[in-house]
């Protein structure tokens, strides 16, 4: 559900950039008051895991479409909403700047759609009440499924609303809404299963972790997070380095919806000076477009003439590993930066 710049007007893109920056400031201020030093490494490791997981598109049977994990609910349950939002912002920023996954003008919208709704709506209003004390796998499954589906539905609706406000008449509101909500209902169900599996695993080995996030308290000093950190590092390496080869070649839910309405997977890029400037900046920062080596001899950047499956590709593996490391560094740096700004050690 990563939006391209072509879907937005500069006014809408700029408005959501402002909203996103305001939310980043709010999350940073809240986290500064309650940051847990021991969760800072987890911010980086989970960010790397979510980055790698988002590279693995799964096919939605019978549709010709695919989806990928959003990851906002996993982050919110394990880190708390404020740290989770900042980690999701780190993931999406690295994707846009270095891999051309989502546009720079659209980055504010993408962070809003994939970060605000799961962290500040679905987690506190749906997951927490349904999960209760979180001690039963059944309740965690129900809470994960409901929050993941509803959070993604809100994000999908937001995409449709943003294109409507941008005046994209090629995407009629009602038809676009129907396609987006229906395909993301299926994607949300898969995300719910994955979220429940991850949370139940962590709950089984370190129940104190989700409990501390729910109570906005530090993890008890005697509790070691070493095994959890190692597990997510391994998962990030395997997912980004190997499992990404098996990503579905079908268009994702957003591209599929656009293609159904226009006959093509993307719209013409805007010639507005703001959009052109954003594209120019992105072209300077991207070094592995579309998670692969830059193509030559007339083949479009980051694209293959005939996508193979599985896509065994050194460029994909390198993208997964480098991207994971970049996200780990950015998210870890955000956490330590907030801690340093606080000016005193969390008790």
Residue 256 falls inside a structural domain = yes
Residue 206 falls inside a structural domain = yes
Whole-number Å distance between alpha carbons of 150 and 126:
9
Q: What is the CATH number of the domain that holds 261?
A: 1.10.1760.20
Question: How deeply is 197 buried, as exposed, middle or buried, from its count of CB atoms within 10 A (0-12, 13-18, 19+)?
Answer: middle
In order along its 347 residues, the chain shows pLDDT tens digits of: 799 999 999 999 999 999 999 999 999 999 998 888 889 999 999 999 999 999 999 999 999 999 999 999 999 999 999 999 999 999 999 999 999 999 999 999 999 999 999 999 999 999 999 998 777 899 999 999 999 999 999 999 999 999 999 999 889 999 999 999 999 999 999 999 999 999 999 999 999 899 888 878 888 888 899 999 999 999 999 999 999 999 999 999 999 999 999 988 778 777 788 888 999 999 999 999 999 887 644 444 444 455 677 777 899 999 999 999 999 999 999 999 998 887 655 44
> What pLDDT score does 303 carry?
46
Whole-number Å distance between alpha carbons of 176 and 307:
27
Residue 329 falls inside a structural domain = yes
Q: How many residues does the chain have?
A: 347
Residue 90 falls inside a structural domain = yes
Q: Which residue is associated with the tokens 């979220």?
A: 195
Residue 185 falls inside a structural domain = yes
> What pLDDT score does 322 carry?
97
* Number of domains comprising the chain: 1
Q: Domain range for residue 15?
A: 5-342
> What pLDDT score does 344 carry?
54
Sign of CA pseudo-dihedral 117, 4, 248, 176: positive
> What pLDDT score does 306 carry?
56
Of 322, 100, 80, the residue nearest 216 (C-alpha): 80
Of 89, 65, 94, the residue nearest 75 (C-alpha): 89
What 8-state DSSP symbol labels residue 135?
-
Q: Which residues of 31-63 are buried (b: 16+ CB within 10 A; e: fewer)?
A: bbeebbebbbbbbbbbbbbbbbbbbbbbebeeb
Residue 305 falls inside a structural domain = yes
> What pLDDT score does 320 carry?
96
Helices (H), the chain: 10-34, 40-54, 72-79, 81-99, 107-111, 117, 128-131, 137-165, 173-205, 208-215, 226-241, 253-262, 273-285, 314-342
Element (H, E) at 59: strand 58-60
Cα atoms in the Cβ-side hemisphere of radius 13 Å centred on 288: 16
Q: Which residue is associated with the tokens 């994000």?
A: 155
Residue 347 falls inside a structural domain = no
Whole-prediction pTM: 0.93
């Amino acid at each position: 559900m990563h939006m391209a710049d072509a879907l937005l007007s500069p006014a809408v893109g700029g408005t959501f950039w402002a909203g996103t920056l305001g939310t980043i400031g709010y999350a940073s201020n809240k986290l500064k008051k309650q940051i847990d030093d021991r969760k800072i490494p987890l911010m980086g490791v989970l960010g790397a895991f979510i980055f790698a997981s988002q590279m693995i598109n799964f096919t939605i049977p019978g549709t010709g479409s695919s989806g990928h994990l959003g990851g906002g609910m996993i982050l919110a349950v394990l880190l708390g909403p404020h740290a989770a939002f900042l980690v999701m912002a780190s993931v999406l920023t690295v994707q846009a700047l270095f891999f051309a996954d989502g546009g720079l003008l659209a980055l504010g919208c993408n962070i809003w759609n994939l970060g605000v709704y799961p962290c500040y709506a679905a987690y506190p209003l749906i997951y927490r009440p349904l999960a209760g004390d979180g001690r039963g796998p059944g309740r965690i499954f129900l809470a994960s499924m409901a929050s993941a589906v509803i959070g993604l539905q809100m994000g999908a609706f937001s995409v449709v609303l943003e294109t409507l406000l941008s005046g994209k008449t090629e995407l009629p509101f009602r038809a676009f809404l129907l396609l987006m909500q229906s395909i993301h209902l299926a994607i949300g169900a898969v995300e719910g299963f994955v979220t429940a599996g991850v949370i139940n695993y962590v709950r089984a080995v370190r129940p104190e972790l989700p409990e501390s996030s729910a109570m906005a308290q530090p993890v008890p000093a005697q509790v070691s997070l070493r095994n959890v950190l190692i597990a997510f590092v391994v998962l990030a390496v395997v997912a980004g380095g190997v499992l990404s080869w098996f990503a579905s070649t079908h268009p994702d839910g957003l591209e599929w919806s656009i293609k159904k309405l226009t006959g093509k997977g993307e719209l013409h890029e805007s010639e507005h000076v703001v959009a052109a400037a954003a594209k120019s900046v992105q072209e300077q920062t991207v070094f592995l477009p579309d998670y692969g080596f830059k193509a030559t001899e007339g083949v479009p950047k980051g694209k293959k003439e005939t996508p193979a499956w599985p896509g065994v590709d050194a460029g994909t593996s390198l993208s997964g590993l480098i991207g994971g490391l970049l996200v780990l560094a950015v998210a870890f740096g955000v956490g330590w930066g907030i801690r340093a700004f606080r000016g005193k050690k969390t008790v």
